[in-house]
Amino acid sequence: MFELHHLSAQEQWDWLQRGEVTPVELTRHYLDRIERLDGHLGAFVTVTAEAALQRADSLASQVPKTAPLWGLPLGDKDLVNRAGVRTGYGSRLMRDFVPENSDPIVEVLDAAGAVSLGKTSAPEFGLPSYTESLVAPPARTPWNTALGAGGSSGGAAVAVAAGLLPFAPGSDGGGSVRIPAAACGLVGLKPSRGLVPSGTGLSSLGGLVVPGPLARTVADAAMLLDALIEGGDYPFTVRAPRWDGGALLNAAVRGEGRFQLGVMTTSPWDDAYDIEIAPEASAALSLALSELDAVGHGIEEFALEPDESYAPNFRTIWQAGAAGIPAEGEQLELLEPLTKWLVLRGRQVTARELSSALGALVEFERSIIRQFRRFDAVVTPSLAMTPRPVGWYDAEDAERNFAQQVQYTPFTSFANVTGLPAITLPVAQTAEGLPMGVQLVGRPGGEHVLLAIGAQLERRLQWQRRHPPQW
């Protein structure tokens, strides 16, 4: 039986434009699905049903109907402030925090005509690559609810994969859009540093964190990314190159071009941790390469130049980034062991050590861009393993926990360090029906190439027709 969530986000927007469905009807549809299904999934930590319906009812008088996201429901990640709505940051420390002002990305999405249904689940302060916390149920991949959805945009990914939202914004500081997208069978795109005005990455330590879309199709991801890019004024003098072909949706719809692709199964973590690529991840990569070869792309395997400094320097930045979490004295006991470890280690980092780590990662960025220069995009596995069971990560030993995260996600963080755009694509399913993906990393400002290649693979593999049981 047909239901509204069976439509793509683009199709839903078209129906709204033609008056075949109203914002209130679409909002009610998704709120009903959240109420019925989310208890077993952990997508939302807060549902603002009354405010969402009021917004949908008054939308026509607030936002022009031609706005790029007019009437489309989405959720705010619970690391993002929306005025008057509790923002918990996945932590007992912030359980009662209600911001007075909204973050810029919220204002951009509102101006684009979106309707927020509430807050999607995130782990404590967005630091882990899995979405399990002490303040909310774990986010579970809809394909097998015994397994985790990844993180830190885990709630957003679950909501989109299970048909609780048409698409959703996330944020990505080390893979936090791409990891849950891969675990939930979605398209997840981390844009170039400096591309999105409301989230350039330039204000985060090391320039790591940028917002990006999670969607079921490449075109839907481009649609949401276009809205993020075009919303607001750019506040810095340095910004990513822009494609001269208009909206990125153009590249996603056309899916045109033949490109030179590198294939890489080495990672910057190889010298510091035991990284093993599971057979399921290798099979997904092989499938993608076979399809890319059939399309006519040039394909060349290569390996990263060894760099023993990446792991310690990234750890330094990650720890230093946690040092500013507002917990002092007894408040530190409200933090989870991993977060507390990161905070305490981060506060021990000296200015000299931080400066050295930042400088080394800038040199790493230069090295990666040089090594990737001969390619239009580089293909890697999205993740090294299948989605991990809920409770798999060590809840007490922070060192082991960090190692587990690296072993699961060795291919994601370097795109944040370098500021390069990266997309994960759900190319395959395992024999058990679990999604497995590949990642494409592009040149600075090369989102259009990633979207074009993604559209080509989507046409051949038809992943948009695969759905979990809740569908």
Active site residues: 77, 152, 176
Cis geometry, peptide bond prior to residue 152 (ω within 30 degrees of 0): yes
CA distance 11 to 22: 13
Give percent helix, percent strand, percent coil of the chain, each to the nearest 5: 45, 15, 45
Q: Considering only CA atoms, which of 137, 138, 143, 136 is closest in space to residue 162?
A: 143
Radius of gyration over alpha carbons of the chain, in Å?
A: 20
CA distance 88 to 228: 24
Q: Considering only CA atoms, which of 330, 339, 437 is closest in space to residue 379?
A: 437
Residue whose tokens read 């999607």:
120
Helix (H) or strand (E) holding 59: helix 49-62
Amino acid at 263: V
CA distance 154 to 80: 14
Sign, CA torsion 31/35/37/43 = positive
CA distance 108 to 114: 9
- Three-state DSSP at 82 gives strand
Helix (H) or strand (E) holding 345: helix 337-348
Tell me whether strands 377-381 and 435-442 are parallel, antiparallel or unpaired: antiparallel
| φ, ψ at 381 (rounded to 5°) | -60, 150
Strand order in the sheet with 73-77: 44-47, 115-120, 73-77
CA distance 215 to 226: 13
